[in-house]
Amino acid sequence: MPTRFATAEAAEQAFYDALEKADLSMLMQVWAEDEEIICVHPGGLRLIGHHAVKESWQDILSNGGLHIRHSRCFSLNSMMSATHSLIETISVQGPEGQEQALCFATNVYHKSPTGWRLVMHHASAAPVQASAMELHDIPGLLH
């Protein structure tokens, strides 16, 4: 029986936990089971459908877990859907030690009879100056 996520936030936490653990089975439990799912990795092609999405994550996770800290979540919620725009800080071991890359990510969740499920993940590389701009992306912030 698949895991039931009571909130979009619970599904999102399970998504990032699965990436950290390189647990493809757990990761795919977060995704909706229907074919109308979409995933775009930074610099990658648009992947549509369960098989294409699963195959892409399998390739990525074959190298081990991803160390991603997600922050600055801005949510747009309704009764049956939630859209989260956030910043991902990805830590990788580079030739000169630990390095970090920033991505902007959008995760879209739909509520179904089996709980909240991910239907779209779109991540793109953030510009180098993104961390300096973080204070300027708060709605209603007066300059």
- Residue-wise pLDDT for 16-60, tens only, equals 999 999 999 999 999 998 889 999 999 999 999 999 999 999 999
Task: Count CB-CB contacts under 10 A for residue 26.
Answer: 15
- Report the predicted TM-score, pTM, of the whole model to 2 decimal places: 0.86
- Show the CA angle centred on residue 52, arms to residues 47 and 55, nearest 5°: 125
pLDDT digits (tens, 9 = 90+) for 99-116: 888 999 999 999 998 899
pLDDT digits (tens, 9 = 90+) for 6-28: 999 999 999 999 999 999 999 99
Domain chopping of the chain, boundaries: 1-31+38-44+80-101+113-127
Helix (H, G, I), strand (E, B) or coil at 8: helix
Task: Count CB-CB contacts under 10 A for residue 42.
Answer: 15
